[in-house]
Amino acid sequence: MRVDVLLPDAAPVAAPLASPAQRSGSPFAALVDAAGAILDGADRAEQAFAAHRGGLQEMIVERARADIALQIAATAAQRATQAVSSLLGMQI
């Protein structure tokens, strides 16, 4: 079985210090961090719309991107859990 690493299409959020996921080099942690950054972007778009500074279309697109990123992260976590469970259930 071959698992391809999913790379988010969002640019990483600039931070002065590297996050724990960036320091550890874990692809799953990087995926979760990217999903969190996309969720933050969706929240900012919603706040901008509520303050009459942003458009409805932008808010809807950002929320849809965040929902998809969250679904991908949840699916990756579920598959990783299934893989670990299968490995631990093997009788050697």
* Residue 47 structural domain: 23-89
Separation CA 49–CA 54 (nearest Å): 4
* Number of domains observed in the structure of the chain: 1
Is residue 6 included in any domain, yes or no? Answer: no
Q: How many CA atoms lie within 13 A of 5 on its CB side?
A: 9
Q: Read off the pLDDT of residues 42-91 as tens digits, 9 standing for 90 and up.
A: 999 999 999 999 899 999 999 999 998 888 888 988 998 999 999 898 87
- Residues with Cβ within 8 Å of 52's Cβ and at least 6 positions away in sequence, in order, are none
Separation CA 19–CA 36 (nearest Å): 12
Separation CA 15–CA 12 (nearest Å): 9
Residue count of the chain:
92
Does residue 10 carry a pLDDT above 80? Answer: no
Is residue 52 included in any domain, yes or no? Answer: yes
Is residue 13 included in any domain, yes or no? Answer: no
Is residue 17 included in any domain, yes or no? Answer: no
Is residue 40 included in any domain, yes or no? Answer: yes
